[in-house]
């Protein structure tokens, strides 16, 4: 192996702090002289300035198109929406590409350089995106792809269903992880509770996420309505952007359900406060729902909540049953507000169960999502890939 190994983490406009944390950790702590470099498009979707990695920005073709209808045409007809300009320019300096999923044209760009390429897969629906032009991109990717990282067994089996010729030894199950020293069990922060109107005398249930159909917020609201007919000792804390049509629809439903008194909108929570917020509530809930083209793929918020000791109420959607602690969780069927209401009521009433889940979920995260262990597994995989291609 070379004295210094350079690995490009290709994420187009999706480079973000949460996803990149493990690479920051590996950059700082690996003893193999490996450097991780983030490759993203310009303009960016997220604030990349807080990411502690060397970054290379490339212009994406979509950004050159001034007119809206030209952008639509290139996005959905010609399939080059995500094409990154100047991709080959510095490939001589790179040892490994690590791109994401198989339907992206920048994954194909990485494979076409001839450099060893690992595809990190979140996709857990077999033969998803089988329409033009993504079916062509996937077909070309499948012909060249050899190495994969996946979050869980379901995603590994999705790959095997689509391409049974991929060898098991070339698929590493290695989930993303979080900073478990930052997301941890700590005391309630009274200043933050006052700031966001979180009441000490209530059982506080937290939802954090986008206000879109697949996050199941309407199902949660319906579950809350059922609870409110029987008790008034709880509040639902909703953290997320309070702008856009999704927020307006949620407000309208809350008004129709007449549950305003037990709902607390606290808006978007900055990254500097989110780890503190988890310790100011008692239960975490997310009602993930599948769509035709998407099921819950990982759920970083569940990791953050479990690391902070919170009891979890979720759904059997996508990869969530593989991510959440199997022994200490309550999952309902997607869309089943009645099951969810019963799950929440069980936790509200049973403080001993909440305490057990509080302790066990933290232990589970420390064991299964230990960043040091994940780093060692990934570095061994990188070294294997290099050794097989030199």
Burial of 136 (0-12, 13-18, 19+ CB in 10 A): middle
SS (H, E, C) the chain: CCCCEEEEEECHHHCCHHHHHHHHHHHHHCCCCEEEEEEEEECCCCCCCCCCCEEEEEEEHHHHCCCHHHHHHHHHCCCCCCCECCCCCCHHHCCEEEEECCCCHHHHHHHHCCCCEEEEECCCCCCCCCCCCHHHHHHHHHHHCCEEEECCHHHHHHHHHHCCCCCHHHEEECCCCCCCCCCCCCCCCHHHHHHCCCCCCCEEEEEECCCCHHHCHHHHHHHHHHHHCCCCCEEEEEECCCCHHHHHHHHHHHHHHCCHHHEEEEECCCHHHHHHHHHHCCEEECCCCCCCCCCCCCCHHHHHHHHCCCCEEEECCCCHHHHCCCCCCEEECCCCHHHHHHHHHHHHHCHHHHHHHHHHHHHHHHHHCCHHHHHHHHHHHHHHHHHCCC
Q: Which two tokens stand for residue 308?
A: 């902070």
Write down the pTM of the prediction: 0.92
Which structural domains are found in the chain, ordered by start? 5-177+370-387 (3.40.50.2000), 190-368 (3.40.50.2000)
* Contact predicate 287/212, CB 8 Å: no
Query: How far is Cα of residue 376 from the mean position of the Cα atoms in its chain?
Result: 22
Judge whether 223 and 252 are in contact, CB under 8 Å: no
Residue 215 falls in which region: left (phi positive, over 0), alpha (psi -120 to 50) or beta: alpha
Query: How high is the pLDDT of residue 321?
Result: 92
CB 148 within 8 A of CB 171: yes
pLDDT at 221: 98
- Partners of residue 98 on adjacent β-strands: 9, 118
pLDDT at 368: 95
d(CA 378, CA 168): 15
Q: Please list, residue by residue across 337-368, b when 16 or more beta carbons sit within 10 angstroms of its beta carbon and e when fewer do.
A: bebbbbbbbebbeeeeebeebbebbbebbeee
pLDDT tens-digit profile, the chain (390 residues) = 567 899 999 988 889 999 999 999 999 999 999 999 999 887 777 888 899 999 998 877 665 555 555 555 555 544 566 788 888 877 778 999 999 999 999 999 999 999 999 999 999 999 999 988 889 999 999 999 999 999 999 999 999 999 999 999 999 999 999 999 999 999 999 999 999 999 999 999 999 998 888 999 999 999 999 999 999 999 999 999 877 778 999 999 999 999 999 999 999 998 899 999 999 999 999 999 999 889 999 889 999 999 999 999 999 999 999 999 887 789 999 999 999 999 999 999 999 999 999 889 999 999 999 999 999 999 999 999 999 998
- Which two three-digit tokens encode residue 223? 């579950």
Task: Please report the pLDDT score of residue 80 as a whole number.
Answer: 61
Residue 15 backbone phi and psi in degrees, to 5:
-65, 125
pLDDT at position 89 is 79
Say what the alpha-carbon torsion angle 27, 30, 34, 35 is, to the nearest 10 degrees. 10
Return all residues near 158 (Cβ < 8 A) that are at least 6 apart.
Answer: 121, 123, 124, 125, 126
- Is the C-alpha dihedral spanning 292, 152, 297, 39 positive or negative? negative
Residues 112 and 146 sit within 8 Å (Cβ to Cβ): no
**What pLDDT is stored for residue 71 in this prediction?**
54
pLDDT at 117 (0 to 100): 98
Size of the chain in residues: 390
């Amino acid at each position: 192996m070379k004295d210094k190994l350079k690995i490009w983490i290709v994420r187009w406009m999706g480079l973000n702090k949460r996803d990149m944390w493990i690479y920051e950790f590996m950059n700082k702590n690996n003893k193999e002289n490996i450097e991780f470099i983030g490759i993203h498009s310009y303009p960016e979707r997220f604030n990349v300035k807080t990411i502690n990695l060397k970054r290379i920005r490339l212009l994406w073709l979509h950004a050159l198109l001034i007119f809206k209808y030209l952008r639509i045409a290139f996005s959905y007809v010609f399939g080059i929406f995500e094409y990154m300009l100047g991709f080959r320019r510095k490939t001589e300096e790179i040892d490994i590409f690590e791109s994401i999923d198989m339907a992206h044209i920048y994954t194909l760009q990485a494979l076409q350089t001839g450099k060893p390429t690992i595809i990190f897969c979140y996709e857990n629906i077999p033969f998803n995106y089988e329409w033009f032009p993504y079916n062509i991109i996937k077909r070309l990717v499948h012909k060249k792809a050899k190495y994969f990282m996946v979050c869980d067994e379901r995603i590994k089996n999705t790959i095997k269903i689509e391409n049974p010729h991929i060898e098991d030894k070339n698929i590493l199950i290695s989930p993303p992880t979080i900073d478990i020293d930052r997301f941890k069990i700590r005391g309630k922060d009274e200043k933050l509770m006052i700031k966001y109107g979180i009441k000490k005398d209530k059982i506080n249930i937290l939802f954090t996420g986008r206000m879109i159909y697949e996050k199941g917020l309407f199902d949660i609201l319906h579950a809350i309505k059922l609870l409110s007919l029987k008790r008034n000792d709880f509040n639902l804390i909703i953290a997320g952007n309070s702008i856009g049509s999704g927020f307006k629809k949620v407000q309208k439903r809350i008004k129709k359900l007449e549950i305003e008194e037990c709902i607390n909108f606290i808006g978007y929570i900055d990254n500097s406060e989110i780890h503190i917020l988890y310790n100011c509530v008692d239960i975490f809930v997310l009602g993930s729902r599948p769509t035709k083209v998407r099921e819950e793929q990982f759920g970083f918020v569940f990791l953050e909540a479990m690391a902070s000791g919170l009891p979890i109420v979720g759904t059997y959607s996508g990869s969530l049953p593989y991510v959440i602690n199997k022994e200490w969780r309550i999952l309902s069927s997607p869309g089943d507000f009645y099951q969810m209401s019963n799950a929440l009521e069980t936790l509200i009433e049973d403080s001993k169960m909440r305490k057990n889940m509080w302790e066990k979920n933290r232990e589970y995260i420390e064991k299964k999502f230990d960043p040091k262990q994940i780093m060692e597994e990934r570095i061994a995989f990188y070294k294997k890939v290099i050794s097989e291609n030199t």
